[in-house]
Amino acid sequence: MSRRDPAHQRHIAVLVYDGVRALDLAGPTEVFEIAREMGCGYTTGLYSTANSPTVRCASGMTVHATAASALTNADTLLVPGGDDPARAAAPWLSKVLRAQLNDVRRIAALGTGCFALAAAGILDGRRTTTHWRHLDAFAARHPTAVLDRESAFTRDGPVWTSAGASAGVDLALALVGEDHGAAVAQEIAKEMVLPGRRMEGHPQLSVAARTPRPKHPEIDRLLVTISVDPAGDYELDSVAAHLGISARHLARLFKAQVGVTLRQYVHEVRLENAVGLVLAGESFHAAARRSGLHGGARVRDHLAGRLRVDARGAEAVSIHAG
């Protein structure tokens, strides 16, 4: 892939096709549009890989695009996901990707858009991810890719991939952060009223998202409280007293409703929160303290088990030992 002068205006070329996911398309392009309004040198364009200039999204919404054959001088090539991995892996899309490969600085794919990169051979030997629903299908079809089943998005050299949907916004923010710094990316996240910005290494699904919602209203409210304030006091006796029930009843009720003990759930939420703080730049020990953990060693060990080292021997995620 080519190297361009970072001072030049950067054109973000988005390849669209029938069945593309509207959020995969709109979320990242909105990130670059807000960046442009903030003075960053971005332009964006939609490019159709089909004969028609009108593309129908999976939602039924239509967008108009320029023919991909007219695409020149792109800095970043973005491939959003669609309703069917087979659409993204179509030969004509692979042909466009191969034609542009040596002319762009970087390529990013969202969700099932990763199937397009893999079909074009771009992900051979590279670390990648895709939407959690399609992980097994991707692994079966593309065994030469190094599949990361956990991360919201990944980077391997000039190739970026994400789980799609909201993770595509996180990836786009990371691209802006690479070009213009973390402070600019954070301002864009604030402008978009995002509850939090996931970094590379964050899981696709949070502890709260992958936990079945309890039917008992008090337990449901307790899970929300733990997510908002992971460093709070959640000793069994204290929580039981607050709820006006016995500790034994709370223990049975929580395990039946959530599937794990209260202590286990609190620990998972605290660990996840600490990892997020470390990925955002805090030290292990500071992140642990803010999350209600006793020390940073466990956070460090957890992250060490998830880090990947790319082909150049560089760590994929920067961590701080202070």
The CA distance from 222 to 219, in Å, is 5
Instruction: Tell me the DSSP string of 250-264.
Output: HHHHHHHHHSS-HHH
Kindly report, residue by residue over 218-277, the tens digit of the pLDDT. Answer: 999 999 999 999 999 999 999 999 999 999 999 999 999 999 999 999 999 998 888 878
Q: Would you list the domain boundaries of the chain?
A: 10-191, 206-322
> Domain 206-322: what homologous superfamily?
Homeodomain-like (1.10.10.60)
Q: What is the mean pLDDT of the chain?
A: 87
310 pLDDT above the threshold of 70: no
Q: Which residues contact 34 (CB under 8 A, 6 or more apart)?
A: 188, 191, 192
pLDDT tens digits along 25-64: 999 999 999 999 999 999 999 999 777 889 999 999 999 9
What does CATH list as the number for 10-191? 3.40.50.880
Measure the CA dihedral 93/96/97/99, to 10°.
160
Query: What's the pLDDT band for 315 if we cut at 50, 70, 90?
Result: very low
